[in-house]
Amino acid sequence: MIKKIIFLILAGTNLMQAQVTKVTFNEECNASIEISTRAVEATPAEYAAVELSWNESNSFKTLDKVILEIQPLNDCMNDISGETLFDPIMYDILDLNKNQVAIKLGMLTTVNRKCFKWRILIGKSDASGKSCTTESNWNFTPFIF
């Protein structure tokens, strides 16, 4: 009950507003993806939760590979330079349900840390066999905004 009250209080503040990051890749891959991170209500097992959602632009649909890489961090004070202890969690966005445009991450159930960094890996090839692969910069997301 207390968690729900705290969530409702925070929901009215700027702390709960979505943080939007536009990821644009080099001209060779010619793609852009907009990723939004926001705190969402968590189950007791999750303790805290963050939702990562994305838009599917026209350039997004031409890609052969779109991977969301999530790296749990042991040290949240150092932002993206924080110490990592576990292997990254990889989500192949193109293999997810076609109607799915978001992933919910639980602090204790999915990531098992208070913060994480994430990036997008993309790849595509054309009919001539020319291909490109690239990755975005790392982005930092704490579970407590």
pTM: 0.74
The domain containing residue 24 runs over which residues?
A: 2-142
For residue 39, is pLDDT > 60?
yes
Mean pLDDT of the chain: 76
Which pLDDT tens digit goes with each residue over 42-98? 888 778 888 888 876 666 667 888 888 989 888 888 888 888 878 898 988 887 766
Tell me which residue has tokens 């999530």: 70
Q: How far is CA 11 from CA 16, 18, 86, in A?
A: 5, 11, 31
Q: What is the pLDDT of residue 110?
A: 81
All residues at 6 or more sequence positions from 72 whose CB lies less than 8 Å from its CB, including other chains: 84, 85, 86, 89, 111, 112, 113, 115, 116
Under the banding of pLDDT at 50, 70 and 90, the label for residue 27 is low
Structural domains of the chain, count: 1
Q: What is the CATH number of the domain that holds 43?
A: 2.60.40
